[in-house]
Structure 1
Amino acid sequence: MTETTPYDADRARFTRQALARLVLCDHAVAVADGAAGLVATENDPDAGPGGRVSQAFQLIELAERALVSAVTYERERGSSWAEIGQYLGMDPAEAEERFAADLDGWNTAFDVPYRLDDTGLKRVPQLPTAAYDPVSACARLDTWAGNRLVLVNDEHPVSSGLTMAAPKP
């Protein structure tokens, strides 16, 4: 199924590296927002027994997604498995094996943008949302960063640093 998507033209303005970086930004926001939920104590009585453990455990899951996104981004920007493995404390072959399926899924999503859901009726985008609709992701992430990052003086703190695709002649 190699049909077009509603966001193909917008996505074409971005490099794959930029799309991977947007996905990493999006996952980092999820981690930050999840961690922020553990800071205030006022609602502790409303969390059932074990509730805060559940929130902390969810952070691990969110951080794992962020790690996969970081590896994808690093591969898109040309980092070697040796460089990635060094920061993970594993040899290059182990790093490549650990993330191979995730990278295969990332690469395949550019060729097969949709899969059918279990009913066979609804098309489900294969790319993460931030890469599928990068223009909306840029706006949302720029706003998030502008509102929360204290020392950022950039009107577009996320999108201004992305590597964009060369315009087509």
Structure 2
Amino acid sequence: MTETTPYDADRARFTRQALARLVLCDHAVDVADGAAGLVATENDPDSGPGGRVSQAFQLIELAERALASAVIYEREQGSSWAEIAQYLGIGPAQAEERFAANLEGWNTAFDVPYRLDETGRKRIPQLPTAAYDPAWACEKLDRWAYVQRIGIDAVSSGLVMAVPEEELPSVTP
């Protein structure tokens, strides 16, 4: 698999540390968007029993993925296992063991960037999407950051109120 793709040239413009940071950013966006889904109340009637628990549990999975990306970024940045472990509340050997598979997958993806699908005809990237196509990731993440500056009234509009606002007694000072 020595064929190149347009993404290879884009990726070559970035350091591994920068690519790791893009992946961390992308995973952080997933966590933020997942958490935002729990903030809005207007769709609560459409959620089945346990739906919000399911969403909250998915946040844990997304946060774990972001944590693994943060560890990879820190290692690319030169942080030691001892420095990383102190923030995890575990020993350096435990930290290294916990994230060894993630780091190995990251490192291997640079040596073997693609695998063939079951048909043997389609190449599947081994790097996370943000590292595989960093130009797209930068555009997506910049757009996300811009949009976050725009507020909407998604919380109060969907709350089920005990008393409608128009029936509240007026209060005079």
* Class of the TM-score when normalised by the shorter of the 2 chains: 0.7 to 0.9
- The residue aligned with 1:46 is 46
**For 1:86-136, what per-residue CA distance to the aligned partner results, in whole angstroms no more than 9, with x for missing partners?**
000011000001111110110010111111223333211000000000011
What TM-score results when the alignment is normalised by the length of structure 2? 0.83
Aligned to 2:130: 130
- The residue number in structure 1 matching 2:100 is 100
Hey, what's the Cα distance between the residues in 1 that align with 2:80 and 2:105?
Answer: 19
Structure 1 position 2, deviation (Å): 4.7
Residue of structure 1 in register with 2:110 after alignment: 110
Report the CA distance between 1:149 and its aligned residue.
4.6
Q: Which runs of 5+ in 2 are unaligned?
A: 151-173
1:123 maps to amino acid: R
C-alpha distance in 1 between matches for 2:103 and 2:131: 14
The size of the alignment, in residue pairs, is 150
**C-alpha separation between the residues in 1 aligned to 2:66 and 2:77?**
16
Q: Is the CA contact (8 Å cut-off) linking 1:2 and 1:111 kept in structure 2?
A: no
Q: Confirm whether residue 57 of structure 1 aligns to residue 57 of structure 2.
A: yes
| Aligned-pair CA distance for 1:4 | 2.8
Distance 1:137 1:19 in 2: 10
Comparing 5-14 with 134-143, which one deviates more in the overlay? Answer: 5-14
Across the aligned residues of Structure 1 and Structure 2, the Cα RMSD in angstroms comes to 1.3
Q: Which moved more, 1:110-119 or 1:71-80?
A: 110-119
Q: Distance in 2 between matches of 1:92 and 1:4?
A: 38
**What amino acid sits opposite 2:63 in the alignment?**
A
User: Quick one: percent identity of the two aligned structures?
Assistant: 84
Which has the larger Rg?
2
